[in-house]
Structures are given as C-alpha cells and as structure tokens.
Structure 1
Amino acid sequence: MATYYQPYQGKIIRHITYRQFDFDRSFADTATSINYFGTNILNHLHTRSRSWVIRNNMFVHEGMPLNANTIADNERYLRSLNFIRDARILVRPVAANSDSVDLLVITKDLFSLTGEIHDLSTTKQYISVSDVNFLGLGQSISGAIVNDKNRKPNVGTDLKYTKYNLFNSFTSLGVEYTDVGHNIYTHQQNEHGFYINADRPLFSQYASYYWSLHLSDVESEPNYGTFSVDDSTFYKYHYKMFDATFGYNIGAVKSRYSTKIPLRKVISLRYYNYDFLQSPQQFYDRYVEMLNGRQALLAQFTLFKQQFYKTNYVLGFGTTEDIPYGFNISFTSGWYKLKDLSRPYVGVDANRYLYSNKGDIAQFFLRTGGYFKGGLQDATVLLGSSFYSRLLLWNNVKIRQFMRLSYTGQFSTFAAEPLRINNAFGLENFRQDSVQGNQRLTLRSQTIFFGPGKVFGFAYAPFLTGDLSYLKATQKSIDHSPFYYSIGGGLRVRNENLVFGTIELKGVFLPRKIAGENRFKIGISTNLRFRYNSSYVSPPALLEYNGDVSNDIF
C-alpha cells in the first residue's frame, strides 16, 4: 500500500489541498454522477462533510518530511471513518529536482442518513432513524421508538449521540440512554441503561498511545409478562460498569521517519468492574459470567509488524478494502474475579496474515488461555485458519471462495462456560444454546458470486454456504450425537454509497432433527455489517472462544 509513496520519501510536504465528493459521484470519474431512482431526493437530504472535518482527521501535516508508511496509514484511517466511503492521498511533485511535494486528499462521502422499521404489526412497531455525519460535522445522532401493546409502558425510546475526533484528539465521545435495550438473558426489550463511551484508538502504527473509558448504569425492569419482579420468567439485574484501558507504543516517535516497517511493541493495562448490585435469582448458585459481578486487572504486551493491502470484493461489493498482512501477537496476564472466585490469568492471542501476489488471502490464528488456583483451571485452546481465494471471473461474474477450519478444546474445566456451536465457530443461523461440549471442530465454506451491473444502485451477490461441526458433548447437552451440519444459500444486496448495511435473504437446511431447532429456516436480515477489525491493537481481554465480537478473525 505504501509503495506508491516511496519515491517521495523524505521530501517536505509543502501544501495539502482537499477535495470532497458527495455520495452520488463516481470515484473513478468524478465528473460522472451516479443517477438512479431517488438520487435527487437523497441529495437534498445529504450534507457533504466539511473540509475541516477531513483536515482534522489528518495526522500528516504541511512542513513534515513525507513518510510513505505514515501517509498510507492516514489514507486507510480516512477510509475507516463511518461517514467516508473511500479516500485517496495523491502526491503532486512540485518540480523535477525539488525537495518538496504537494498532497491532494480526495474523499467520497457515504449517504449518512439511515433508518429501520421492525415488527410493523397491529401490536408492535419499531422505528429508528440515525445520521452518522449529522450536518457534515463529524458527529452521529440516532433515535429509536418502540410501541408495544404487550409492554408497560407501551412506548420506549433509545437516544444516542457521538462526536468523532473531539477537539482534534482522535477521541470519540458518545452518550446513550435507552429503556428498550435487550435483556442479557431473554433478549426482551426491558433493559434500561445510560452509557458514556470515550475511545482513542491506535489510529496509526506511529501513534504513541491509545486509551478508552466506558461507563454505564444498566437495570432490567418487568416491562413484560405479569409486570412483577416476582415473575419467574423475569431476570432481574442491575449493574454499574467501569472499564478503562491505556496503551503505550514504545519507540513510535523515534521510528516515525524510518523507511522500514519496524517491529512494534505496545504495552497495555486495563481494569474493568461490572458491579452487580442485583443478579438474577435464577443464577444465584452458578458462575454465569454475563449475569454476575466480575472484575479484572490485565496487562498486555503486543508485538506486531503489519501493513495493509488494498483490494475489493472480499466482504464488500467493490469498495476499497484494507486487508492486513504481517503478524500480531499479544501476551496477556493478570487477575480476574467472578463472584467469589478470584484467580490469576495468562493468555496468548497470535495472528499471522498472508496475501499472495495472485490475491489469495489467508489468516492463521491461535488463542489460548487459562487460570491458576491450586493448579491449572479452565484452560482453552482455539486455533485454525481462514482462507479467501483470489477473485475468479466467469461470464462477468466475480467469484470468491471462503473457508475456515477451527478447533477448540477445553481442559481442567471448573467454572468456564461450555463450548457451543451457535456462534462464529459453529453453524450459521443455529440458535440452540443447550448443545454443549468440551471439544469442537468446525469447517465452514461459502462461495460468493458478485453479479455484474447494479439495480437502482444496488449491487447483488448470490451465495452458497455449508457448515460441518464436530462437538464432543457434555452431560448437560440436550443432544449427544457429535456431528452437526447445515447447507444453504441466499442473496445479498448492498448500495455502497449508503451507510445502510447489507440486506441478506437466506435459507438454511439442517438435515438432522435437533430439539428446539427448526430444520428449515428462511429469513431476511437488514443492515448487516461485514467488516473485520482493522485496528493494530485491541485492549487486554480474556480468551473469547464462543464468538468473535472484536472481529479479529476473518
């Protein structure tokens, strides 16, 4: 990605100019407008990003010597902003023998206004509206309202505001209030909460530090059923959360003008406390992490040597995607307490990213961790590999093949949650959480066909999918047969000029009959986000083996 800038390494950046384009402009030919049904209406609703908003998200400035890797980092960072579809930083030589260059920064907006309508029936209605770049000022607002006759009170709301890059510090600050949050256990909309989130990521490998602070006060209320806290189907909880992280990038400033990609070393410290003032009585004698008080003090040492390669048609429909290559390995240790169970913890999270000259993409991953109390307890190993084939062409159809093979094993189990297959390391669209085990082996395959042309600005991609899992059952599992599999397919559509996510129509068939699980499933999902984590460093965390919330794995 930095190759384009290397001939200008060390030259002084004389001037930086900015050009912003609306969502309806072609990035390949900015003189050409993208016209389809409704474009004129959307244009009247859209406000272009202000030039100073883009300028404030630059960490390359006039008067600095040009560093190829820093500019490549800055271009990628601009593309990662929620309201930017694509970005380029172009070099304009001043003269043949000049020691200076000019930069041209080009960005293209997303149409930032979006909304959703769910459950539009006679008994329940859900409507939400959001703008991720309100007034073009680099700020997000959103609001949702629920009207449910089976709920007391019938009407509930969710309000959220986020300011990106507060005071040019690369820190995002967000506040949210909701009384229609989803219950941790039942997923009913009876959770009331107030949240404050501040995040400054390691936005560049040359940034000196990163930090985050998250605060919340969350409580479930009996808005459904008998509307009583004594209802056995109501899971009452109330907790306050404090979560703070700080990380320091050793030697970042000294290597800022190096022509080589150095080995980065980052030390991080994190403390969090989920203080449960009240836990569900249904779990008073069990160690259930998400429904009990817990706190941790974790230290992490991260080594990474990583760049990003620009490509497309991996998770998107043609927009520029930044694929990591290199390696990233983190060593974590510290102390963790769940209810009255207090133990030291150690863990490793290692990733190797490969990108071939022909466009094949691969990731090898290893996660392992465990606790110590009178010996090793709750040890887990998760390892595997993900693979995206090179982009294949057949009659104007672009094809990618995706495969992931993963193995997970638990040892010396004491209080850890069992392995399940209703997550990224199991079967897609499998919902049953009573299928449990202590060893899991899963092969996932998906073939994606990106169709030619667009319909009203929407690109489309039919796909076929198949999953096979082996799960060594525990005594608590409802099904003791070890093999589970599913086959299916569907259609994804997306207009990548809109901030609204992918729409997916999907059908899945489970050949085996499993208690509590439908064998045939057909559904439509909206506003899906297919995006991997492009951050260099994640906060210290315990091993995650029943999911991939941070999107560290392809």
Structure 2
Amino acid sequence: MGFSFMVEFFKLRQLIVFALMFVVCPPLMAQKKGKQQPIDSVHVKGRSILILGDSSIYVEQDTVLILPDTVAIKLKQDETKKSEEFYKKVKERLYKTRFTKELYRLLFNDVKKVEVKEEEPKAIITNGNYKKYKGQVINNIRIKKLEVFGTRITDTTKNYNSWAINLANDMHVYTRSRIIKSNIFFKEGDVVDPDALTDSERILRSLPYIKDARIYVISRKGVPGVEILVIVKDIWSISGEVSIDNVDRSDFAVIDKNFLGLGHEFRNEFLYNTEYVPKVGYNGIYSVNNIYKTFITGEVNYARSEPLDRVGVRFYRNFITPEIKYAGGIEINKSNMLQSRIFPDTTVEFYTKFNQQDIWLGRSWLIDETDDGGRTNLQLGTRFNRIRYLDRPIIKNDTNQQFFDRNLYLFSVGISQRSYEKSALILGYGRTEDIPSGYLLEFTVGKEVNEYYNRAYLGWRFSVGRYFGRLGYIRPSAYLGGFVRKSRVDQGVFSLQGDYFSPLFRVRKFNFRQFLRLRYTTGINRYDNEFININNKNGIRGLNYTFLRGTRKLSFSSETVAFTPFYIIGFRFAFFGFFDLAIVNANNSKLLKNKLYQGYGFGVRLRNENLAINTIQVRLVWYPVTPPGTSGIGFDLAGQTPLRLSDFRVEEPSVIGFN
C-alpha cells in the first residue's frame, strides 16, 4: 500500500467515528446538511496483513470493504496506477512497428475483457458453500476447460490474446472430459454431497497435469435440482530436464504428464557417461492414473544403464479422501544397482542385485465429522515386504546387515483428522493451494525375519498442523522407531521437526511470506556405515561435502520470500533471502562440540504455473565456515521440483527413515 493510502485510511477512521456519532445522535443528524457521500467496495484477500504506517490490520477471510467512493477509488488507483502508466508507455513505443507490436504481445499480458452474457439472469452460482444445496438432485454436469495460456481460473471473462499464445494453446492436447469426470466423486442423478464436491475440487487440483480447478453449483429459481459446472485449467504437460556436468557426463529427459490427454505420465530419461559401458543409458516410467475410476494408479518402470538396471510394476491406491474405505498396493521389481561407500582415503564400489515383492492393504472408518468440514478416521494397515539378493557383498552376522535376505511383516493403527482451506502464494506462484489442518497419530508394530535372526519393530508417528489466524501456520511433528532384539534397540531413530509459515504480508505490489524450519534427528545403535548429513536440503543448502555426516544433527533454516507482480512470458518472479544453520556429530560424539556450519544468501526464482517444467532458481550464498577444499562462496543455477504441502493421512505401514 502506498503512503497516500495510509493517510486516507487514517482519515477514514475519523470519518467512521463521526458517522457513528451521527447514528446515535438523531438531533445532530437532523442538523447535518449536504448530500450523502457515495460508497464503493474494495476486495481484500483472506489470510493477509495490511501494513498501515505503524499499525497493521489482519484480514482472516476474503473480505469486501465498503468505503466512501473517494477512498475506494484512490485505493484501487494506487494499486494499479503506476503499473498501468508503465505498460502504457511501453505499449505506445512498441506498437509503432509490426515486429515490436508482436514482441509486446509475446512478452506482456495485455488484458482484454470479454463480455459474457448470462444465460439465465436468475441463476445463482456458488463455489465453496455447498451445504445449502445438500440433498438436491444433480441434473447435469458441465465441464469447462480453460486454455492453458491467457486465461484465469478466478476470472474466466479475462483473456490475453496474441498470435504466440493462440499458437501455444492450439498445440496443447487438453485433458479429455471423461478423464475429468472419472476424478470426481459424483455423477448426474446423485444428490449433492458437500464433502464430495469439496474433495473433488481438491483432488482435481492435486493431479500433476491440472494447474487449478473450481466446482460451481448453479441453481435457478423455479427449477428443481441443480447443475454442476466443473472448470479446469491444464498445465502445458510436456517438459524436459537437462543436467550437464561436463562433456563426458550429462542427463537429458523428456516428460509428458498428460500423454494424449489421458492423464498418463510418460517419462524418458537418457544418461550419457563415457566412463560406463554402454555410454548411453535409459530410464523410463509409464504411469496410469485412476484406472477405470477406481483411483488405482498403475506404474511400469524400466531402466538399462551402468548404475541401474531395473524392471518393475506397481499398483497402488491411497486414502486420498476420508471417505475412501480401502487402500493398498502391490509392487514387484528386479534391480541391479551400482553402490558405493566413501571412506576418507578410498572409495569402494560394488553391485547389489535383488528381487523385491511388496504388498499392503488398509481399511479406514469415518468416525466423526465437524460442521467446518473436519473429518476424523480410524485406519488399520498391514504390509509384507520380501527381499532376496542375487549378488551382494560378503555378509556375516555383524557385517553388511543391510544386505540380508529378509521378510518384513508390519501392522499399523492410526487416527487422523483432516480439513482443508484454499490459499495461494505458499509453495506455489499463483495456483490455488489446499492448506491441510488436523493431526495424525500412528502406531506400527512388526517383525523382521532374516537369515541370521529375528527381531521386532516398534514405531510411532505424530504430527499436528493448524492455521492460527494472524500468527500463521504451525506444524510440529515427532517420530520414534526402531528394531528390538534381545532387549536392545537396533537401527533406531528419533526425530523432532517444526515447520512454520506466516500469513501473507502485502506491501505495495509485493506479497511476503516468512518460512521457518527446525529439525533434530538422532540415530540409536545405527550400523557402522549408516549416516545422516547436513548437505543441501538436509541442512545447509548449496553445501556438499561427503564427510559432513554422522548419527545426530540439528538444523534451522529461515527464508523470506517476496512474490512480485512481475510476469514475463508467463513466468512470475519471486525474490528470496535465507540463512541456514546446522551441526552434525562428524568429529565429536557430543553434538554441540562440533562446528556450526552456516549459509547466508539470496536469490530469485522463476515459475510458470502453466508449464510442467521445474522452477528455475538462481542462488548466491556465503559460508563463513567451510569444510576442507570447499569455497566460501556458492553459486547455483538449477531447477527446483514444485512442492506441495503434505497431508495428514495414514499411508502403508513403514519403517521410519533415517535422514
């Protein structure tokens, strides 16, 4: 917000006080002369903090402020005036020739409003507040597919038009309507179930080939039943990845997340390394989502290269909504992997060849539902995992235990509560994001039978998350697990983690969020060659040194992100500043007696939510303390995989990882 808006706001507060005095004092109102001041409305996004001078106002939900029109108009002008003037001048200059005119249309979003006539003036269109339609019959379901480029899910009357945009849209294969209908939990002739509509909208948004989705209920006066309008916006599903270390080693991948508009994912990766035979390797995955409307995903993977030979097949179904009663999966694969162990004075490489079979089954019961949409489930799960080695290092009772032939039996019981609310500009760059709130508590027991001995397994997980209004989103988690043999814990792990992000702060045209993460992990009687490290995302981003490893670590990271209003060819810019602190017991068994490693930096990220490609990140970082042979300045230009907030749902029973 500009300074002029701050002044107007404080004037407005005085105006409101005087207006209240006139309301409670009719004689004063009778003496008041002059015309009543017209009013206007201004929309403010929820979960936002308006900074006004030395004060702030927290807006819990999307709100429409009713203001005197002079103030409202001033507010709206302050938001757009400078941007409009800048782009107007650029447009005037570039529209002088045909070439520069097309260049302007390619680089900038020139908004043109398209007038859309209402089919029925008496139609009521609703998104989100579905409870008032509960029990009404669904007469018809309409699917509206927005073009990938030049459209907005929040305002379908806006259209960005240029020859380049039209060409790109024409080249895209859109998701087929039957695929969209197969991923929703209702059909024509059903009665409206508010939870089914809410879950369907969220599931559509979670699909890797969908950028955003909205489900509207349309009712008309005098017409029984309702119509459902499903609006979806695809992403440009074809993307690629390139990694070039040097002329002797590189990777190249071509990925289609929506093959032929069927919702199938097809990944083809080619690996080139002159040190291997053959020099060119291949890694491919073909995945089919929601087979025959069962929400079962099937996946076939094949790899043929020096570091990895694998062929496998996998089918699985998760508890994607609280109403799902059964979940499970089965996986069969055969692998031959090149592995390495790095010691201070040497590196040992060896192959492990093995067959693996994995099967699990889960059952869920919905036991409670609150008025605000929160649902509580009790869930049971059982799992069997079998590994048989065909090639491995020499093993003994106390040597290379990771390569024992083994059968693992696990059983879990868990309770989870889940609810969601829509927001944006958290991990995404404009798409709608579903913030999970609730908790997860899970207990796991089991038994491992290997070729030398048997041992029991005990595990416990707990996580809770909630948006605390003006304070922000807080999510603490705790994990504890390990194998037990002869009253001794083997391969145990204890981990505590806290995650936080703030509400959205708006200053002028920029939106800010603060992110924090604190994590502590310790191993309990881990094997000699099992380590955790503080490299890159595990502690100090950009730092990579083999021997920053141990069995116990503590890390803290802070990041401030400024989402800018700038778009170029659909890419949105976000600037960020960060610092990382981490310590690991690499040299001393007492954690705090080791060096504290630090990283301070800043950078910029570019993300086009219409594309399936990774976020482009440029980062510069300074390390006050560095390991031997490592530079104190780090620069990174790389792709960053898009992230999503993790849910509170029970999955297959598993052993807690040491990472």
Give me the TM-score of the superposition, normalised by structure 2: 0.73
Q: Give the 3-state SS of the residue equivalent to 2:153 in structure 1.
A: coil
Structure 2 portions without partners, runs of 5+: 1-60, 62-126, 340-345
Question: How far apart are the structure 2 equivalents of 1:486 and 1:280?
Answer: 38
The code of the aligned residue for 2:454 comes to S
Distance 1:232 1:306, change over 3 A: closer
Matched, 1:208 2:325: yes
Q: Which has the higher helix share?
A: 2
Partner Cα separation in structure 2 for residue 73 and residue 390 of structure 1: 24
Q: Tell me what 1:235 maps to.
A: 350
Which residue in the other structure is 1:373 paired with?
A: 485
Contact 2:212–2:232 (8 Å) recurs in 1: yes
Instruction: Provide the residue aligned with 2:95 in structure 1.
Output: none
Paired amino acid for 1:136: G
Letter of the aligned partner of 1:206 in structure 2?
A: E
CA contact 2:420–2:435 (8 Å) conserved in 1: yes
Look up the match of 1:197: 314
CA distance in 1, matches of 2:471, 2:565: 20
Alignment of 1:124-523 (within 5 A): 124-180=249-305, 190-220=307-337, 233-251=348-366, 261-280=374-393, 286-287=399-400, 289=402, 293-336=405-448, 340=452, 342-358=454-470, 360-378=472-490, 379-411=492-524, 417-422=530-535, 424-473=537-586, 481-515=594-628, 517-523=630-636
- CA shift digits 1:453-485 (9 cap, x unpaired): 201110011111111123345668999624222
Moved more, 190-199 or 335-344: 335-344
- Give the gaps of 5 or more residues in structure 1: 181-188, 223-230, 547-554
Give 1:96 deviation, angstroms.
Answer: 6.3
Segment drifting more, 15-24 vs 82-91:
15-24
1:28 maps to what in 2?
154
- Between the aligned partners of 1:502 and 1:125, the Cα distance in structure 2 is 20
Distance 2:526 2:286 in 1: 42
Identity %: 25
* RMSD over equivalenced CA pairs, Å: 3.1
What per-residue deviation string (whole Å, max 9, x for no partner) do you get for residues 168-213 of structure 1? 2111111121123xxxxxxxx6211112121212121101111112
Matches within 5 A, 1:522-537: 522-534=635-647, 536-537=649-650
Change (3 A) 1:287 1:486: farther
Distance in 1 separating the partners of 2:539 and 2:485: 30
| Equivalent residue letter for 2:561 | I
CA offset at residue 371 of structure 1?
2.4
5 Å-filtered alignment, 1:83-94, equals: 83-94=209-220
Letter in 2 for 1:243: D
Query: Which structure's CA Rg is the greater one?
Result: 2
Q: Deviations for 1:354-405, whole angstroms, at most 9, x for unmatched residues?
A: 1133472110111111222222414432123111011111231111100112
**TM-score scaled by length of structure 1:** 0.86
Distance in 1 between residues matched to 2:451 and 2:637, nearest whole Å: 40
- Describe the shift of the 1:116–1:22 C-alpha distance in structure 2 as closer, same or farther (beyond 3 A): same
Tell me how far 1:56 sits from its aligned partner: 1.0
Report the more deviating stretch, 22-31 or 117-126: 117-126
Separation in 2 of the partners of 1:416 and 1:296? 21
Give distance in 1, aligned partners of 2:441 and 2:324.
18
Aligned residues, how many?
A: 526
After TM superposition, list the pairs within 5 Å mapping 1:7-18 onto structure 2.
7-18=132-143
CA 1:120–1:333: 2 relative to 1, 3 Å? closer
With 122-131 and 502-511 compared, the bigger mean Cα shift is at 122-131
Q: Distance in 1 between matches of 2:591 and 2:478?
A: 29
* 1:45-60 alignment, distance < 5 Å: 45-60=171-186
Does the 8 Å CA contact 1:287/1:339 hold for their aligned counterparts? no
Aligned 8 A contact 2:547 2:586 in 1: no
* Superimposed CA distance per residue, residues 57-87 of structure 1 (whole angstroms, 9 cap, x where no aligned partner): 1112223332222221111001111111001
Instruction: Kindly indicate whether the alpha-carbon contact (under 8 Å) linking 2:413 and 2:444 is maintained by their aligned counterparts in 1.
Output: yes
C-alpha distance in 2, partners of 1:478/1:333? 30
Question: How far apart in 2 are the matches of 1:65 and 1:439?
Answer: 55
Aligned to 2:260, the other structure's residue is in SS state helix
Q: Structure 2 vs 1, CA of residues 504 and 12 (structure 1 numbering), >3 Å: closer, same or farther?
A: same
Q: Does the CA contact (< 8 Å) of 1:201 and 1:535 recur in 2?
A: no
**SS at 1:514 equivalent:** coil
Question: Which whole-Å CA distance do the structure 2 matches of 1:421 and 1:221 have between them?
Answer: 24
Shift of 1:288: 6.1
1-structure distance, mates of 2:453, 2:163 = 60
Q: What is the aligned partner in structure 2 of residue 538 from structure 1? A: 651
Q: Offset at 1:269?
A: 0.9
Is the CA contact (8 Å cut-off) linking 2:564 and 2:572 kept in structure 1?
A: yes
**Measured at CA, do residues 354 and 54 of structure 1 come closer, stay the same or move farther in structure 2, by a change above 3 Å?**
same
